[in-house]
């Protein structure tokens, strides 16, 4: 197990290093850079000599490998540099935006999970065919609803019409209610689809019939036998959905005017703010790697067969 963990950890580090390098190279390939966008815009009205001075002051005229090495060095010492567009240190931008996105994403994800389980459970427990069909169709609806439209509708109804929550100067809890709903609905859709389909598949297995024959109730079978088996593929998708979550956060944050990584990424991409993007890519890669590591470690807990397999190869 220790060997397995070390191996996975090494893989994770390699992924991070590769992501860092790829991001650095790709950001250099883009036409133009943040300095050009900021200082060569006509409203700055600068001369070519003045721009050359500024490029030299930022070290933008150094060869690629030199800039790469200095960026690596900076990252290793925890210095993410400055955002040329925003005019503040990248670390300050991250400090403002990362916690709120993490909170929004984790709450949104938890809400999505709860919604998924409720939907799957309700559609399987109900005896009424039409209700079951209706509930099973919901995820398709959820996935088709554009996030920005959903957010605007929720704001219009709950804030502007009913006056239940304020979106402009909300309290700390108040400000999360509508964004979490907005984020949870589209995220729950693929999860619910997969969970429902898996439950249907597992229900056709012979052991379910055996359990029922032994006198187990429908819900007993669902929770004790079916759920554990149906959860595994759902978990895999949940790990991958993190990216979706970040993308959803971009729109959600823009609609609700929340600070967060989504809006920061959007701005940084627009302005080729390399220092900010580099930090965001590394942080996102770190999050992806961590989540997938956790998911992989959870498999054997949910399915003992996978655990013994790991033991066999180790």
Partner 1 sequence: MFQVQSRRFIIGAAASLATLSLAGLALGSGNAFAQAPVKGGVLIYLEQQPHDNLYPPAGGFYPNGGVLNQITDKLTYQNPKTLEIEPWIAESWTVNADATEFTFKIRPGVTFSDGTPLDANAVAKNFDTYGLGNKAQKLPISEVLTNYKGSEVVDPLTVKFFFSRPSVGFLQGTSVIGSGLVSLKTLSLPFEALGDATKIIGSGPFVVTNEVLGRELTMTARQDYAWGPKNLEHQGRAHLDGIKYVVTPEDSVRIGALLAGQAQVIRQVQAYDEKQVQSKGFIIYAPSTRGINNSIVFRPDNPLVSDVRVRRALLHATNTKEIVATLFSENYPQAKSIIASTAQGFVDNSGKLAYDPALAAKLLDEAGWTVGPRNLRQKDGKELVLTAYESLPQPQNKETLQLVAQQWAKVGVKLNVLAGDAGSRVADNLDPAKTPVAPAMVGRADPDVIRSQYYPTTRNVLLQKGGVSQKVQNFSDEKLNKLLEDIAVATDPVKRLALVGEVQAYVIDQGYAIPVFEEPQAFAASPRVKGFTFEAVGRPSFYSTWIAPK
- Return residues touching partner 1 (CB under 8 A): 30-33, 36-48, 50-51, 53-54, 57-58, 82-89, 92-93, 96-97, 148, 152, 155-156, 159-160, 163, 166-169, 254-259, 263-264, 267, 269-272
User: Between residues 104 and 202, which has the closer beta carbon with respect to partner 1?
Assistant: 104
Minimum separation from the CB atom of position 281 to partner 1 (A): 17
User: Between residues 15 and 103, which has the closer beta carbon with respect to partner 1?
Assistant: 103
CA distance 164 to 77: 47
User: Between residues 22 and 44, which has the closer beta carbon with respect to partner 1?
Assistant: 44
Burial of 78 (0-12, 13-18, 19+ CB in 10 A): exposed
Q: What angle do CA 139, 133, 227 make, to 5 degrees?
A: 65
Minimum separation from the CB atom of position 27 to partner 1 (A): 10
User: Between residues 12 and 37, which has the closer beta carbon with respect to partner 1?
Assistant: 37
Contacts by residues 133-138 (CB-CB < 8 Å, ≥ 24 positions apart)? 136/196, 138/192
CB 262 within 8 A of CB 270: no
Minimum separation from the CB atom of position 183 to partner 1 (A): 16
Minimum separation from the CB atom of position 14 to partner 1 (A): 30
Minimum separation from the CB atom of position 312 to partner 1 (A): 51
Radius of gyration for the alpha carbons in the chain, expressed in angstroms and rounded: 24
| H or E segment to which residue 89 belongs | strand 88-89
User: Between residues 229 and 252, which has the closer beta carbon with respect to partner 1?
Assistant: 252
Q: Kind of pairing, strands 88-89 and 82-83? A: antiparallel
């Amino acid at each position: 197990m220790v060997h397995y963990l070390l191996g996975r950890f090494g893989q994770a580090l390699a992924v991070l290093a590769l992501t860092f390098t790829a991001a650095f190279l790709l950001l250099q390939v883009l036409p133009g850079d943040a300095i050009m966008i900021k200082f060569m815009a006509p409203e700055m009205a600068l001369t070519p000599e003045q721009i050359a001075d500024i490029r030299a002051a930022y070290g933008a005229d150094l060869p690629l490998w030199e800039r790469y090495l200095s960026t690596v060095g900076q990252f290793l010492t925890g210095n993410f540099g400055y955002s040329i567009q925003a005019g503040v240190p990248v670390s300050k931008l991250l400090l403002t935006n990362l916690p709120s996105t993490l909170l929004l994403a984790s709450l949104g994800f938890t809400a999505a999970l709860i919604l998924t389980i409720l939907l799957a459970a309700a559609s399987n427990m109900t005896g009424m065919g039409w209700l079951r069909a209706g509930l099973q169709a919901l995820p398709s609806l959820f996935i088709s609803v554009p996030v920005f439209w959903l957010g605007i509708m929720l704001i219009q109804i709950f804030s502007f019409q009913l006056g239940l929550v304020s979106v402009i100067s909300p309290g700390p809890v108040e400000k999360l209610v509508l964004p979490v709903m907005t984020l949870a609905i589209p995220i729950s859709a693929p999860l619910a689809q997969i969970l429902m389909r898996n439950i249907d598949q597992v229900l056709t297995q012979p052991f379910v019939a055996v359990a029922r024959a032994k006198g187990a109730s429908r819900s007993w079978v669902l929770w004790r036998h079916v759920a554990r088996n149906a959860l595994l593929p759902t978990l895999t998708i949940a790990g991958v959905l993190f990216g979706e979550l970040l993308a959803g956060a971009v729109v959600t944050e823009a609609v609700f005017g929340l600070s967060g990584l989504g809006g920061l990424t959007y701005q940084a991409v627009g302005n080729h703010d390399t220092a900010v993007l580099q930090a965001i890519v590394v942080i996102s890669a770190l999050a992806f790697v961590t989540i997938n590591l956790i998911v992989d470690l959870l498999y054997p807990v949910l399915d003992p067969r996978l655990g013994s397999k790991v033991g066999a190869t180790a």
